[in-house]
Amino acid sequence: MNAADDKTIVKEYFNSTGFDRWRRIYGDGEVNKVQLDIRNGHQQTVDKVLGWLKADNNLASLSICDAGCGVGSLSIPLAEAGAKVYASDISEKMVEEAKERSMSILGTENPTFAVQDLETLSGSYHTVVCLDVLIHYPQQKADEMISHLCSLAQSRVILSFAPKTFALSLLKKIGSFFPGASKATRAYLHREADVVKILASNGFTVQRQSMTRTRFYFSRLLEATRQ
């Protein structure tokens, strides 16, 4: 499968069965045990990013691009904390849901939401965040995406990916990684060294890192700043 196919499949998935599944996981209603585990893991990742950004204090009016924003799990609390958030996602359905959630929680035009492939984003933002998106793409496409995100960032890039460790490769092989309906999309694991290398080739150095690991959710989080 080539990367263009990956993108089409991912987009269709997050506009159909994937939308139903992830809207529930990223919500607060009743879900099954696996989905609850993934919800809790993902929330830990979101909380870590919020914690990092808030620890650096002045979130007020900081411009943040949330690429592949999903239903706004990060964008909405970031806007609530005062950041100026530009959120976008390739899936119309995810963006529609994000807008509704944002309107009912914040009732403001911040964040702004757009349906857009992250590779077509333009502009310049203090910080660019991309959480749990790269997992849908093979390394070469992920490299291109990371490079593009770096080109949008004045100062900092924060991204997460599923690390290619022996344990995870094994789990993926035996099929227990991302179980159930989400198997409709492939889950790609990425070597941390490859991600660090592509960040470095774009002038970014890793400053903070974290690993969130629950039973069914694995996400390596890196913050890199422009040197």
Ligand X SMILES: C[S@@+](CC[C@H](N)C(=O)[O-])C[C@H]1O[C@@H](n2cnc3c(N)ncnc32)[C@H](O)[C@@H]1O
* Least Å from the CB of residue 7 to ligand X: 6
* Least Å from the CB of residue 117 to ligand X: 4
* Least Å from the CB of residue 14 to ligand X: 3
Amino acid at 106: L
* Least Å from the CB of residue 66 to ligand X: 7
Nearest residue to ligand X, using CB?
A: 70
* Residue ranges that bind ligand X, judged by CB under 6 A: 7, 10, 14, 22, 26, 67-70, 73-74, 89-91, 94, 117-118, 131-133, 136
Residue 64 CA, chain-centre distance (Å), reads 13
* Least Å from the CB of residue 137 to ligand X: 7
Nearer to ligand X, 118 or 224 (CB): 118
Nearer to ligand X, 14 or 204 (CB): 14
* Least Å from the CB of residue 91 to ligand X: 4
Nearer to ligand X, 57 or 120 (CB): 120
Beta bridge partners of 112: 86
Nearer to ligand X, 61 or 120 (CB): 120
SS (H, E, C) the chain: CCHHHHHHHHHHHHCCHHHHHHHHHCCCCCCCHHHHHHHHHHHHHHHHHHHHHHHCCCCCCCEEEEECCCCCCCHHHHHHCCCEEEEEECCHHHHHHHHHHHHHHCCCCCCEEEECCHHHCCCCEEEEEECCCHHHCCHHHHHHHHHHHHHHEEEEEEEEECECCHHHHHHHHCCCCCCHHHHHCCCCCECHHHHHHHHHHCCEEEEEEEEEECCCCEEEEEEEEEC
Nearer to ligand X, 62 or 95 (CB): 95
Nearer to ligand X, 123 or 227 (CB): 123
